[in-house]
Amino acid sequence: MTETNVFLTKLVYEDISVSANKFSIVLTTDFVYNDPVYGKITAPTGFVSDLASIPQLFQNIISKVGVYDSAAVIHDWIYSIQTLSRDACDNVFLRAMKASGVGFFKRYAMFWGVRGFAFLAWKRASKDVDTYRNMIK
């Protein structure tokens, strides 16, 4: 069962993989998620995401794109701005995946994947936090 009214806008983006030389999308409109714990989280127009950051080794099991795209964009955004703790960000991802209709086993596999391995992404993102925070309107 999915929750209602948690994604307040549609996820609208352009695939920029060719120009970025890696799988990437750029938001062409603001994307808003209403988290039951933290309230509205807005990934702004112009934000670049790689959707689900699934290592190549596991992409035959879980694709980089899927029903979890919206949750992945929100997770990438809040990792980029780091206004919440890493633990809180990962829990937002879990709730957003549930709201997107991601099945229990896939949802928890992806959640434990980010809990176990996304510390590197968190550390890399910390270098550009000010740049991303400047995107907030």
- At 63-116, the pLDDT tens digits run 888 999 999 999 999 999 999 999 999 999 999 999 999 999 999 999 999 998
- At 85-99, the pLDDT tens digits run 999 999 999 999 999
Going 8 to 13 to 89 to 131, the CA torsion angle's sign is: negative
| Pairing assessment for the beta strands 48-49 and 39-43 based on DSSP bridges | unpaired
**pTM, entire model:** 0.90
Amino acid occupying residue 28: T
d(C-alpha 55, C-alpha 27), whole Å: 23
pLDDT confidence bin for 1, thresholds 50/70/90: very low
Kindly state the average pLDDT of the residues 35-62.
90
d(C-alpha 77, C-alpha 47), whole Å: 8
pLDDT at 120 over 90: no
Residue owning tokens 């990962």? 90
- At 6-32, the pLDDT tens digits run 999 999 999 999 888 888 999 999 999
Q: What dihedral do alpha carbons 30, 85, 56, 64 form, nearest 10°?
A: -30
